[in-house]
Structure 1
Amino acid sequence: MTPEPEVPGPDTAWRVAAVREAMAGAGVDALVLRPSPDHRFLGGGSGFSGAEPGAFLVVTRDVLAETADPAGLVPEGARRVGVDPEMRVRELFGLAIEAELVPASSVLAPLRLRKEPHEIQAIGRAVAAAERVLGQARELAWFGATERAMAHRLRLLLVESGCEEVVALRVAAGEHTAGPAHVPGDRVINPGDALLVSVCGRWDGYCAEVARAFVVAEPPEDFEAMYSVVLAAHRAGLAAVRPAVPVSEVSRAVGEVIDGSGYGRFGAAHVGRGVGLGPDEGPRPGEDTVLAAGMTFCLEPAIYVPDLFGARMADVVACTEDGPVPLGSYPHTLHVLDR
């Protein structure tokens, strides 16, 4: 198999120039970024939780530097300073900057919407890693185990995959699959249970999530019919992804399928969000953002029927000039776990 060709890495100089132009337009005199996706976007350190503590990145009209004392690099008389939205309270108080503090995302988020080719390639590698973990999950012994125990096993598989950070991990069985925010607990997994598994991690700085519904030994009554609606909604949302289309159209396409099936009041409120250096960034279906080539997001339609079961399907998709390109290849057929 011919290896995928590497594409050039980030043009940091271009990014910094674009950020400075956006800062001028927003009346922001400086940016102070802690280790985070925004930090990494501008080439600062590792840019996420593994970075050296105190390695702030400061951007002004004339300065781009990492420092433990950001106040010393903020221009005297600065009126507005953009701070990292992931800034901790103690870090904010420790800045000692005499200026109006505003979210740096107002400057950086629009610039991070469209991914460069090397970023899409990196996100694709992260998706492949997440899918390998989900594939390994299918081979585990689920009968008689608890949600918590299986979540622990998946966490180990993520670490073994080279995952730098486990962003989110979900295992829900039976009636717990109907809870969108369910935390794995001590419920024992039994034959006849629906099972919802999702893994979201960070590899080489970029995030990816994959989620699938499984059934143990045999599907519960009516589960396959409900799952087929989620699958149809996923296909409709994917087909809506193309340049110049408002992101809200993706939500509308998904909603029309679920509403028309009779499951409308059980459909998830949100059908996706952008992914990249962060696990939850723009574009988000439901917003007024217009799709453009280079945008990537996690398409995740779901139906949750209280006290019965739920199903969620999550895949990372890139918008290209030719339409949608799924960055993964994990099958969508409902898999029956036989052990």
Structure 2
Amino acid sequence: MSSAASSASVSAASSASAFVPAPFTADDYRARMARAARSAADAGLDGVLVAPGPDLVHLTGYRPTAATERLTLLVLSAEQDPVLVVPTLEAPDAERAAGAAALTLCDWTDGKDPYAVAAPFLDAGGCFAVSDSTWAMHLLGLQQTLPGTSYVSLTAALPMLRAVKDAAELARLEAAGAAADAAYEEIVKVRFSGRRETEVAAELARLLTESGHEQVDFTVVGSGPNGASPHHEAGERVIEQGDMVVLDFGGLKDGYGSDTSRTVHVGAPSAEEQRVHDVVRQAQQAAFEAVRPGIACQEVDRVARAVITGAGYGERFIHRTGHGIGVTTHEPPYMIEGERQPLVPGMCFSVEPGIYLPGRFGVRIEDIVTVTEDGGRRFNTTAREMAVVD
């Protein structure tokens, strides 16, 4: 690599890690909670109940320090101000959350019935959307205390709750994508041949951290036949000359996700390997070009799948074309047959078709894309052509 190219790569990594977004304010969280309450009312529900997990982080900025069996529950309703029921011993942490000023804290001490504490804030005959991360014992406790209530899945009832990002969220996702790109630009410079998958995966994790990620969620390194397993966990296989290697990696930067995949080859590829890679690249490009407001999510999947099926590999494309991304790396919407939710400006999701030939190799190419007013925009901009590595 030339010194100029090396300098450009270092500059990109520095730029990605240097991005420091303004923190979300209590007003930001107040608006999110109000929007959730309105959406629930519009859906004919009496409110939203949110336990610790990504929905609670998105709506309040509060992330409990550890998983606990004690009830923590955000209650949102169009009929009252937001209330967070929280154990007394964890109340100081909740009070420091950025969104705390936008809600009322109601704490309870050990020895009290937490469901009885939460009950006055729920309509005794109401139907509520419950976050998917709610523990079964808490839902059962609420049902026992308020037998007239009923519950539905938050994702099923309000799939758009976190799907459309505002400008500040888009900026975070774009920076996360740039940081992941910086990691990819560096990993293709290292030696692959003769090294274990776990060694390359560890190097990818280090590069993600250096580019500004505070959390690394996954570093898939699928070499040779392992590449035919889409979620292969890096193992002790030694990467060899002639291997195709699927790289899929991401995590959280400034609280928002990155997720990108590229497929590289150790040494020159065969004609068949190049052809399969070209088919996946064409499918990924066609699916990206299909992105625009108003089309159903399933259309993105259909476009990618048509290219791969037309090339004779339809049965070897074994997963959905994409998933949403935000405060987690996988969330609604999903680009899959049967998902009729129309695309809306501000939605962000992956476009990641693949072909997997069992016992031989796999290919996947993935970018994070956001819907704009007239099409789509990629947050990953590294070359999608197959890179040849040592």
Provide the TM-score with structure 1 as the length reference: 0.89
Distance 2:178 2:294 in 1: 28
Alignment pair present for 1:66 and 2:74:
no
Residue aligning to 2:377: 325
Deviates more, 1:105-114 or 1:207-216: 105-114
SS of the equivalent of 1:111 reads coil
Residue aligning to 2:344: 292
Residue aligning to 1:113: 163
For this pair of structures, how many residues does the alignment match?
336
Alignment pair present for 1:88 and 2:138:
no
Distance 1:273 1:92 in 2: 27
Distance 1:22 1:6 in 2: 28
Residue aligning to 2:60: 43
Deviates more, 1:131-140 or 1:114-123: 131-140
Alignment pair present for 1:219 and 2:247:
no
Residue aligning to 1:170: 220
Distance 2:202 2:50 in 1: 33
What is the Cα-based RMSD across aligned positions, in Å? 2.7
Structure having the higher Rg: 2
Distance 1:168 1:177 in 2: 15
Q: Name whichever structure is richer in helix by fraction.
A: 2
Distance 1:278 1:320 in 2: 21
- Aligned-residue sequence identity (percent) comes to 31
Q: CA, structure 1 residues 276+125, in 2 after alignment: closer, same or farther (shift >3 Å)?
A: same
Distance 2:65 2:201 in 1: 23
Task: Output one character per residue of 1:187-242: Cα deviation in whole Å (capped at 9) or x when no partner.
Answer: 11011111011112111221120110001122245101110001100110011001
What pairs with 1:148-167 in structure 2 (closer than 5 Å)?
Answer: 148-167=198-217
1:15 aligned partner, one-letter code: R
Residue aligning to 1:11: 28
What pairs with 1:1-339 in structure 2 (closer than 5 Å)?
Answer: 9=24, 11-46=28-63, 55-60=72-77, 61-68=79-86, 69=108, 71=115, 72-73=117-118, 74-75=121-122, 77-92=124-139, 97-98=145-146, 99-285=149-335, 286=337, 287-338=339-390
Distance 1:36 1:125 in 2: 23
Q: CA, structure 1 residues 116+223, in 2 after alignment: closer, same or farther (shift >3 Å)?
A: same
Partners of 2:251 and 2:257 within 8 A in 1: yes
Partners of 2:41 and 2:47 within 8 A in 1: no
Partners of 1:35 and 1:51 within 8 A in 2: no
Q: CA, structure 1 residues 76+106, in 2 after alignment: closer, same or farther (shift >3 Å)?
A: same
Task: Output one character per residue of 1:122-164: Cα deviation in whole Å (capped at 9) or x when no partner.
Answer: 1101111111222222122322111123223322333343323
Q: Which runs of 5+ in 1 are unaligned?
A: none
Distance 1:301 1:91 in 2: 39
Q: Which runs of 5+ in 2 are unaligned?
A: 1-10, 87-107, 109-113
Distance 1:202 1:50 in 2: 17
Deviates more, 1:309-318 or 1:130-139: 130-139
Displacement of 1:16 in angstroms is 2.3
Displacement of 1:331 in angstroms is 1.1
Displacement of 1:316 in angstroms is 0.4
